[in-house]
Amino acid sequence: MKKSVFVSLSWLPAKQIALSSLEWLSFQGVFSWLFLLFLTNTLIGQNPESLVELKRLSEASVSPDAKAKSFYTLTMTYWHRDIDSALFYSRKGLELTKSQITAANQGKLYFVHGFTHTMHGYSDSVIYYLNKAERVFLSEKMDLMLNRTSEQLGNFYREMGWFEEAEEKLNQAEDYYRSEKRLADINNILINKGSLYYDQNRFNKALDVYQEAATYDSLLNDTSAIALSKMGIGVVYMGLGRLFSFIDQKTSEQYYNTSINYLNTSKELFESIGHTTGICYCKMSQMSYYIAMEEYEKAESVFANSEECLTTADTRIVTTFLVNHAEILALSNKPDAAMKTLDQASSLEKRHLVIPHIAYRGKYLKAKILHQQGHIKEAHLIADTVVKWFKDKKQYAFGYPIIMERAKWYAQSGDYEKAYVCNQTALVMRDSLIVIATSENYDEVSMKFENKLLNAKVKLAEAEIDKAQTALGYRNMLVAFFVLLFIALAFFAFWYGKQARIRQELLEIKAVNLEKENELKKSQLEKAELERKLKEEEVDHFRIESEMREQELVFKSLQQANLLLLNKSIRERLGPYQFKMMKKRDQEAYIEELDSICRESARDPLSEFESMFTQLHSGFYEKLIAINPEFTRSELQMCALLRMNLPSKEIANLLNLSISRVDQIRHQIRKKLELDGNRSLTSFLILS
């Protein structure tokens, strides 16, 4: 899942600031990306008096280095609550880089300017100034600032979809933080890497790093960090719920329910410390869950009670809420209100940073509404852009339902060829989803890990026994016989009791191992059941493909029948014109050419029908003849067309008969099949 910004700012002259990213997901309408940016309320300059003093220093006649520090702190102060002001002060500070200021301050001004551009979405500026900052910090051997810049670049590369470069930068920063034992920074970088792995659909790896991050929470004793870890784990399970929603609905619901428990706990923790930004992202996740569960009234209730989130300076939060609300309006049959909300979100996208998944989800929702309103061409143009983006980013869980929906659009408009192409593309995406899902069996992985742990305990217990026995032998050689006898008896009593306890522990461990093995077998049975269901779905796909081929066969036959009628009409209408020609030789040439045209297109409309129908429905004719051997060829052809559920008018065109003659043949067929008046002939033939 793409794009989030995460930077740790504990080097500021205030309490540590942690900016973390996760993913925001949804089931219908494909909601992805979750950003969690959380700032402390004790930044220097956070209160009005400090801001006034900082602004005064930035304009006073003080040294360039003092001004650089003021602009740097002003930018970071405004960054989260007023990005335009942050950008203004970062530009003012950038002007000082041309003055005589220290390399350290110069690097920090480059850093803060590039960092500020992340909120406006100016990717070229972000990379350019962060790279300049990185070079300064490297030359000045400012290791902490160098790795913070690498961390920020890694997160921005993830936003751009450059996953290999992102992982390299994040690993570089992580190695430094671990070498310096900076626990808070290690916690932050692990959450960043969790988002990176989640972006790549590596759910197992993402869950591992989020759980490792949670182990640092007890050491840090930071409520916001604990809330963040729980949100990360909850989002992973929500992603798994969305993934399995296309494969196994029961497993999907289990993952979704696990997810909402983590997310609710995270929201309570953020509320306990009054962390508004964290609360907003939790509410976004709750809306995602309710949409996935089709509980739209609850989702609407969350939106109605999120006024503080709709007025925040973070446009990513605002646009996400607006697009989510637009989907609820569309599902509630309020297309005009939904379009108005989408337009409001689009106006924010033009000037500020937004979550790409949310932006493209809004575009597709707009295309869907336009299609419903009859603007077919415009809807397809927008949908083409959305599908290309999700395919390029390999986000199959988002692209699959969209392509399936487009297949329905083409089928409704009669463009079966494009519908078939969409259907085939969707099947390829679904196969990729199945591959991802089969690699994410957490129950099996967990049981294997616990079995290894139990085996390690058994080996440790056996080593303790060997150690005790060796100690007993040495004591026998160092003491006198009577003393040795006394010690031996005492030690034997101790050893026997310990052996009994160890045996009891071994029995308990074996019992636990046996239980784990049974659970593993159960997991394997569930996996086999999943494979069986997948095979059944493959059969359904084959059936759909057969039906489309039937429709194509009928369409071609109808075209040929219409062509024959057209030829007949042409001959009847153009024939008399031969007599208007003066020369007999011209008349004969005219007639010969007209006959040639008619012969070239006079192919029987049912010439290919018989062979293709027999391939699709082998044994159909044999079953009818077994019921009544007196069926004629024309009656068998009529039965085949009825088997394909064609109306009498189309059958008449294909067989070049009148509708009354078609009804007469239908009556003859009913008599030969001995059907009573209450039973449908077409239904009988379809079920045969």
pLDDT of 40: 32
- CB 571 within 8 Å of CB 594: yes
Q: Look at residue 602 in the predicted model and tell me its pLDDT.
A: 52
pLDDT value for 143: 92
DSSP state letters, 440-498: --HHHHHHHHHHHHHHHHHHHHHHHHHHHHHHHHHHHHHS-HHHHHHHHHHHHHHHHHH
Q: What is the mean pLDDT of residues 651-667?
A: 86
Q: Is the pLDDT confidence value at 575 over 80?
A: no
Whether pTM > 0.85 for this model: the answer is: no
More confident residue, 304 or 350: 304
Task: Provide the token pair at 641.
Answer: 């067309």
- The string of pLDDT tens digits covering residues 398-456 is 778 888 888 888 888 888 888 888 888 878 877 777 777 666 554 444 444 344 444 44
Question: Would you call 35 helix, strand, or coil by DSSP?
Answer: strand
* Domains contained in the chain, CATH given: 314-394 (no CATH), 617-688 (1.10.10.10)
Highest mean pLDDT among 439-443, 459-463, 497-501, 566-570: 497-501
d(CA 616, CA 684): 18
- pLDDT mean over 605-616: 72
Residues 199 and 161: their CA atoms lie apart, in Å, by: 9
Tell me, rounded to whole angstroms, the distance of Cα 195 from its chain centroid. 13
Question: What average pLDDT does range 514-520 have in this prediction?
Answer: 84
pLDDT at 170: 93
What tens digit of pLDDT does each residue of 305-316 get? 988 888 876 777
**3 neighbors 357 (Cβ within 8 angstroms):** yes
The pLDDT value recorded for residue 45 is 35
Higher pLDDT, 235 or 16: 235
Note whether 422 and 437 are within 8 A (CB). no
Q: Which residue has the higher pLDDT, 140 or 561?
A: 140
pLDDT of 143-164, one tens digit each? Answer: 999 999 999 899 888 877 788 8
Q: Write out the two tokens for 655.
A: 């067989």
Task: Give pLDDT, residue 407.
Answer: 83
Per-residue model confidence (pLDDT) at position 169: 92
Highest mean pLDDT among 4-8, 45-49, 64-68, 628-632: 628-632
What's the CA gap between 688 and 686, in Å, rounded? 6
pLDDT at 453: 40
Looking at residue 564, its pLDDT comes to 58
22 phi/psi in degrees, rounded to 5: -130, -155
